[in-house]
Structure 1
C-alpha cells in the first residue's frame, strides 16, 4: 500500500507536486533552492523487486528539474519568478525536499501581476535543453491545428503542452494545410505554396514534380496562376495597380500585457490546482521541425528536443586518393605470423602434462615468495619458457640469472623489470601524489631519478597495492554494517504516512549572531531571524526577508556600503542638548588675508602599498596585499573582489586554492614553458614579487597567467569582471605552440607576435624582458558595430586591441599612436578596455 508523504512543516506532497529541493547549507555552498516536480517516490535501491518493494518506506524521489534563466546564461532577468522547464530528471534523496511551491504555464495564468505577488508562485513559458544548449517555446497542445485529426487527437490526449522552435510555432498554430491536388495533409518540409493563390501543394503532386524548394528570395506559382499571369501580360489591355500588402493573420497566441490585478481569489486557487495531463510522467514533448508527425503515434517515441543530424558530405572528411607508385613493394609478411608479432606466451597450445612441467620448473627458479607474485617476473618467465618450447629445448634449461632480454623490435638489450625503488624515492613519489594527484608529469619532476615510463609503471603497482590493502582490511574486519531498511508495520501505518525532508532552518539559521548584526544585502540591523549569507558578501548573515528571497527566488539586491570615516579610534564630539548640529557658528569669521588664503592640503595618514604591476602606490582597498605570500596588486588588474570589512584578510588565487582545492595544486601556466624543479624548490613559485604571481584557473582545472590570458587573442573569460575561468586554450592555433620563443629559446607554451616586428615570444618572457604592454583603440566600421564591443576611453572611440612592443618600457616616454595610445603598462584602470572584448 503506497504511503503518504509529509514534509517537516506538515504539508503533504504527492506526485506532480512542485517542491523546493536542496541539500544542507554546507553541501550546496550557499546556492539557492532548486525547483522541481515530483515524478515518483522510490524505495531504497537494494530492496526486493516486485510488489514487495511497496512495503518499504520511501528513501528516494525522482524529480523533473526547472532552471532559472540565470543558471543557463549570463543574461540577467529581473523577473525572479520566471523559470525554464526541462525534459531532464534525476533521482535524489527524499530528505532534500524543503517545501511546496506552485509552477504554472504562462497561458494558464489570467492575472500574472497578482500571481507574482503571492509567495512560492512561479511560471514558465520556455524550455531549456541541457544537452543541445538551446531554448524552445512551449505552447498548449490544443493550440496545434496544422495536423491530421488522428495525430492531433493523440497529441492532445497525452500531453498538456508541445515544445517547438520559435520559428515553427506559426506553422503549427495555423489552420490545417491540405494539398490542393490530393487533399492530404501537407507537412512543412514537403510543402510548397503558390505566391498568387496561396494554396499548398505536395512537391511530388506538382507536374512536373519539384526536386527542391525555391531559393531564398524567390517564389513559386502553380500552373493555373502562371498561365493566367502570362495571358494578362500578353493582352496589354489592363494595367493592374500594385496590390496592397495585407499582413497574414496568424493563429498564434497573442502577446499578453500585464493587465490590472484581479481580486478573484478563487480564480487564482483554481489556476494553481488545475489538472495537467501527463504521459509517462511528462506533460510535454518535442514537436518541432526535426519531428516526423507519424512517429507521435508510437508511445515509445523519444520526446526530447532534437537538432539537425551531422550526416552527409558536409560533415565528412574528404581524403585524397593515394598516389600511384611505380615501384612494386615487396610482399608483406602474413599478419599474425611469427615474423610480425612478439610471442609472450604459448601456454594455450601446451598440453596438461607440459603445463604441469612448466609449473614444476617455475617453482625451482626461485624460493622468494614475493618474487613469485611479481607481474614482471612472471611475464618474463612465461616468455622464456615459450621460447624454449618453440626452439624444442628442455624446460630445465631456462634460468632467470640474466636480468636482461633482447626484444624482437629493439637493437639493444633491456631489463625486464625496473630497478627496485628506494625508500627515499617512494617517499618523494607519495608526497608528489598527495600534492599533484594523478598528474604524473609533475610527479616525475619531483622524482628526478626516475624516467617517465618508470613513474607510470610504478604508479600502477602502487595503486594496486593500495587496493589490495583495502581488500585485506575488508576480509579481516568484514564489510561495514548495513542499516536495515524500515518497513510498514501495518496498513494503518502506511495510511498515516512518513515524514521526510529538511526544514528550512536546518543548518541555515544563526541563533546567536554578533552583538551588532548587519544584513549583507539590505544593511538592516533588526530581524526576528538571521540566515546564513552566501560567500562574497560584506557580512555572513542576512535578515529574514533577504534570506528567504535568496533561498526561494534567487533574488539578492545588495545595498552598497556607506562611506565611513577612516579616522578610527577618535571619539565623536557631542554637543549640548538643544544645540542644532548644523546651526550657525557663534564666532565671527576672520577677514584677514591669512584667513582668505588657500588652505594647506589635507594630509591623510592612510597606509600606502606599492603595486607590482604599475609600480605606483595606492591605499589599501585599491591595492590589495595577500596575507600569506605578501603579493601586492591593484584589485582591477587581477579581477579581485575583497571584503571591505576585512581587507587585511585578502588572499590571492593561488594561496586560496591551497585551502579550497578548486583547481590543480601545480601552478604552472599552461601558456608558458615549464619551470625547472630547482626554481620551484628554491623560491615560492610563482614568486610573490612579480606580476606573474597573478594566475587564474582554466577550464581544465589548470592555471594561466592573467598577463598571458589577456594578451592571447583566442582566450576568453567566463566572468570578465572577476577574470574567472580562462576558456579557449584548445582554440589556439598550432603555429603558436610549435614556434620557438625568440627570448628564452624554448619551444614550449604559446607565443604571441610583437606589434612592431615579426619576432614571437612568450608574454611572460616579454614581461621579464621589460617590453611595452598596452591597448590600442582602433576605429570600427559602421557595418561591424553591432558585432563589436565599442569602448570609449579618454576621448578615443573604438575597439580595444592588445599590443606588445619590443621597445623597453619607460614611464616618461609614452607609446606612439600606431602602437598603443594611452598605456605603457598594465595599469589597473586600463585593463577594462580588453575585458569587455574577452567577455563578448
Structure 2
C-alpha cells in the first residue's frame, strides 16, 4: 500500500532524504484462520479493511490478489504460483463476513451518489441480504419521483411500485409484518370492485410441467481455449483506490448521503446499541440522606487518623520540631528513611494537637486505632542469607512472590512484597548508573545512512539473510518435517506438531505462502515380539544390525523415515509412548494412560484439558470423596496422611491403579478389579462407567486370604494357571501378567457363545491373570492397550462384548433388586439344604388372582371359605397384589365377597 521512511525520521522535506525502511501492508485472512469451517482451496482469501506497518525486511515475496469477478479462468489462475483471489471481506472487530461486489453493479442509487461511489472505489462491501436491493434497478417513489431507500420505502404487492412511507395517505408508521403484503390505494380500490362485481373469476395458474427425459444433456462447443495474454491482462487491470483502499462499506447501516463526504469512515458497521433494549431504566434519584443528630458524622477528627499537620506549624513550632527530630536519633541512614520520617511527622502532629510536643518518643512499635495489636513502622533489616535466598527464588520463580515467600520462610508475605519493590528499585538504579557511565545507546540503523551511496557501502536493508525464519546451520542430519527430504539449499523453521523442526525450501515456501503442507505419514517401526524374545538378555532391541548396510542409494529411492521427536506421553498401563491424542495426561495430577484403557472419549483438540475421574470428582462430588477401591485392602492411615501432608495425590498418579471408576453405590473400584472380576458389569461398557454387581461376589472371595499381601480384607481373584488367589492390585504391583486370550469356539456352540474378532483372530475372549512364574511365551495373550486395525484396545473389545449390563431390559434399581432376590433365594436354598439335608423345594413366585401381576411391593394371602375364586380350588393359596388389596379395602367390597385377607 505504501512505502515509509524510518519511524524516527523527521517530518517534512528533510524526511524525504531517508531510505524506505518500512512498508504498509494490506491484511488478508485465510478462511480457516477466522472461522471453524474448512476450505479446501488454499488460494481463497478474505479481504479486510485493515493494514499494518512492518519493517521492509519482513517482506517475503510478491503475490497477486484479485477479486473473483476479475478472473475468467479460475483453474488456470490457481495453477500459476503466487496467485490468490477473494470474494468476501472479514472485519476483525465485528467478527463478521461481508460480500464484496464491483461498484458498477450497484444500480439502486441516485445518480450523484452512484457516480461518486464508482469513481472512487472499485468494490463495495455489504451484507449478503442487502446485495439484491443494491443490484436492483433504481427504485423511485411513485408519488414524489425521488429515490426510495429500502429502509424508508414500501412495495405494493399488486402493481409492484415503490412508495415512501411518508408519501402514503395516511402515512405508514411501520412496514407490514413478515408474511403480510401491502397494496396502494388504487390497487385496493380495484380489488374491491372486482370482488363486488362477481364477474371476474380468478383462475388457478397452471405451471408448465417439464417432462423428464433420459437423453444426455446438450453438449457445448467445448472448453474455451486458454489465453495467456488474457491472464496477463487480468493481472495488470487497473484498480481504483481512494485513500489507498479499493473498497468501502455500503450496507445496511450506511447513510447514502454520507458517501459524498471524503472523510466518511469506510469500515463495516453494526446496529446502534441505543434504546430500551440495551440501556437500563434508572429510577429517580432518592431523597438526600439526613444524618440523625445522635449519630456522629463521619470524616471528623474523631473518626479520621491525622497523619500530619506540619503545614499548620508556626516558625517557633517548626524550630521546636526540628530539635525534637535531632534528639530522637543520630543515625544518618535513619534520618533519611521515609518510614522513619513518616512516623516522626505523625507523632509530632499528635503531640501538637494534645499539647505535649517535648515528650515525643519513637518506638519500634506503634498502636493504630483500627488494629488490636501494635505493628512495626519499619521492617527488620534483611540478613545476607535472606537476601541470597530471595534472589535465588526470584531467579527461579520470577515475580510470583508467594512462591518466593515459601523459599524465604523467615519473612511474611507483606515483608517480601515491600522488599521486592525496594530491591527492584535498587537494581533499576544500578542499571541507570551503568548506562550513564557507558554513554548513550548507539544510533539506530535507520538514522545512520541518508543516501543510497552511503547505504550501499554499509549493511543492506531487507536482505534475505536477515530472515529470522531461515535456519543458517541445521543439524548434521537434517530432515524435512513434511516430505522427509534430506537435501535442500535453504532450511526453514517448521510449525509445531511435525516430526522435525525444519522444512525444506519447497515445503517452507508452500507453508508460508499458502499454509499448505504435504505431510507424509510416519511408518510405525516396532520390533516384533518373536524377534525381541529371541534376543539375548541384556542386548538392546535397537542395537546395530548384523547385515551390511547399503552404500549406494538410488536416485528414485525413498529416504528412510526419521524418528519422531513430537512430544509424547508414556502410558502407565503398557509403558509405551504415544501422541497426546491417544495417550491422555491428566491436567491436574499428570496421570497418563491410553484413552482406550480408561474408557475416555476425548476430542483430539481438547486432549490437553483432559482430567481424570478422581480429579474431576473433587470438583463435581458425584461420588464418594474416599477414592479407596472397595475390592482391595484399605491403605494404612499413616501412608495416606503422609501423602496428604506432602500435598500428593492418593492413589498415587505414577501407577495405573489411579485409574478408578465409580460404582452404583457412589464408591470407587480400580479398572483392573472391575474388568477382571467376572461378577461385575458396566452400565456403559464403552466408557467403563458405573460398575454394577458388587453384591453378587461370592462370600468365598471376601473371606479368602490374599497369597501376596496376606490380608483377608477385600475380594480376591484366582490365577488362571494355578490355585493361588490374590487381589488384583497386589498382582499388578508384583508384575503378574494381565491380558486377554481368545479361545476357539466349536461350530455347535457359536450360537450360544459370544464371540469377538481381534487382530484377525475369532473366538471367545477371556480375561487372564497369571503369576509371573508361569511361562507365557507359547500363548498369545493380548495386553490391555494392544489395539486392532480399528484403533480399539483389547480392554475395550472385551468390555463391550462381555461386561455390558442389560440396561435395555430393566432400569438400574430393578436390576439391583433382581440381583438381591437371586442372592437371597440362593442363600435360603443353601440353608435349607444344610439344615434338613434334603434338596430345596422350588420357590413359586406369587401371582395376583385378579390382575395376574407378578410384581408388587407386597403380596397378601387370600383365604376363601365359601366359594372358589377364579377357578382356584378351596384351600389352595391365593395371592393378591398391593394395588388390588388397596382397591378392595377402599370400596369395601371385600366384606361383600365373604373373603378374608391376611
Interval containing the TM-score (normalised by the shorter chain)? 0.5 to 0.7
Consecutive unaligned residues in structure 2, runs of 5 or more: 209-221, 532-541, 551-567, 612-616, 628-647, 691-783, 797-902
Written as runs of structure 1 = structure 2, the 5 A alignment for 1:428-447 is 428-447=389-408
Determine if the alignment matches structure 1 residue 213 to structure 2 residue 170.
Answer: no
Looking at structure 2, the residues matched to 297 and 765 of structure 1 have their Cα atoms a distance apart, in angstroms, of: 73
Deviations 1:353-396 (A, max 9, x none): 866775675455434343344343333333333334444554x5
TM-score, normalised via structure 1 length: 0.62
C-alpha change, 1:486 and 1:436, in structure 2 (3 Å) is closer
Q: Which residue of 1 aligns with 2:308?
A: 345
Contact 1:57 1:498 in 2 (8 A): no
1:468 aligns with 2:468: no
Is the CA contact (8 Å cut-off) linking 1:145 and 1:176 kept in structure 2? yes
Mapping 1:349-360, distance limit 5 Å: none
Counterparts of 2:665 and 2:399, CA distance in 1: 37
Matched, 1:311 2:274: yes
Q: 2:160 — aligned with what?
A: 198
CA distance in 1, matches of 2:289, 2:336: 55
Instruction: Give the equivalent residue in structure 1 for 2:12.
Output: 50
Check 1:141–1:436 CA distance in 2 against 1; reply closer, same or farther (3 A cut). farther
Partner of 1:553: 514
Distance 1:522 1:444 in 2: 51
Map of 1:616 onto structure 2: 573
Match of residue 240, structure 1, among 195, 202, 205: 202
Pair 1:225–1:107, CA change in 2 (3 A): same
Aligned counterparts of 1:324 and 1:442: Cα–Cα separation in 2:
51
**1:422 Cα deviation from its structure 2 partner:** 4.0
Deviations 1:285-330 (A, max 9, x none): 2222222222222322222222233333333457899999999966
Equivalent residue runs for 1:234-273 within 5 Å: 234-242=196-204, 260=223, 263-273=226-236
TM-score by length of 2: 0.58
Q: Which has the higher contact order (CA 8 A, sep 6+)?
A: 1
**Secondary structure of the equivalent of 1:126?**
strand
Q: 1:496 to 1:212 in 2, by over 3 A?
A: farther
CA distances 1:221-253 after superposition (whole Å, capped 9, x unpaired): 33333343344444444331345799xxxxxxx
Q: Deviations over 1:630-675 (max 9, x none)?
A: xxxx861328xxxxxxxxxxxxx9xxxxxxxxxxxxxxx6xx7xxx
Structure 1 residues 621, 484: CA separation in 2 closer, same or farther (over 3 Å shift)?
Answer: closer
Structure 2 CA distance, aligned partners of 1:465 and 1:497? 40
Q: Distance in 2 between matches of 1:471 and 1:531?
A: 39
SS of the equivalent of 2:442 reads coil
Aligned residue pairs, count: 622
Change (3 A) 1:806 1:283: farther
Aligned to 2:240: 277
**What do residues 372-426 of structure 1 show as CA deviations (whole Å, max 9, x unaligned)?**
44343333333333334444554x544322531313x444433333444444444
Structure 1's unaligned 5+ residue stretches are: 1-38, 247-258, 576-609, 625-633, 640-652, 654-668, 673-685, 696-706, 728-734, 746-762, 776-802, 834-840
In the TM superposition, 1:250-649 aligns within 5 A as: 260=223, 263-316=226-279, 337-339=300-302, 341-347=304-310, 362=325, 365-391=328-354, 394=357, 397-407=359-369, 409-483=370-444, 485-486=446-447, 500-503=461-464, 506=467, 518-524=479-485, 531=492, 533-562=494-523, 566=527, 569-570=544-545, 616-617=573-574, 620-622=576-578, 636-638=582-584
Distance in 2, matches of 1:172 and 1:740, equals 58
| Matching residue within 685, 688, 692 for 1:823 | 688
2:165 and 2:650 mapped to 1: Cα distance?
65
Aligned CA distance change for structure 1 residues 356 and 526 (closer, same or farther; 3 Å): same
For the pair 1:187 / 2:133, whether they are aligned, the reply is no
1:133 to 95, 108, 118: 95
Q: Does 1:743 align with 2:628?
A: no
Residues 1:491 and 1:563: Cα distance change in structure 2 (over 3 Å): closer
Counterpart of 2:669 (choices 788, 803, 808) is: 808
In 2, distance between residues paired with 1:92 and 1:611? 40
Moved more, 365-374 or 822-831: 822-831
SS in 1 for 2:88: strand
Note the C-alpha offset of 1:82.
1.7
Structure 2: how far apart are the matches of 1:294 and 1:379? 65
**Residue 740 to residue 811, structure 1, CA distance change in 2 (3 Å):** closer
> Is residue 2:114 matched to residue 1:152?
yes
Offset at residue 135 of structure 1 (A): 1.8
Provide the rounded CA distance (Å) in 2 between the counterparts of 1:108 and 1:307.
Answer: 29
- Aligned partners of 1:228 and 1:177: how far apart in 2? 24
Q: Cα distance 1:432–1:289, how it changes in 2: closer, same or farther (>3 A)?
A: farther
Q: Which has the larger radius of gyration?
A: 2
CA distance in 2, matches of 1:496, 1:431: 48
Question: 1:556 Cα deviation (Å)?
Answer: 0.4
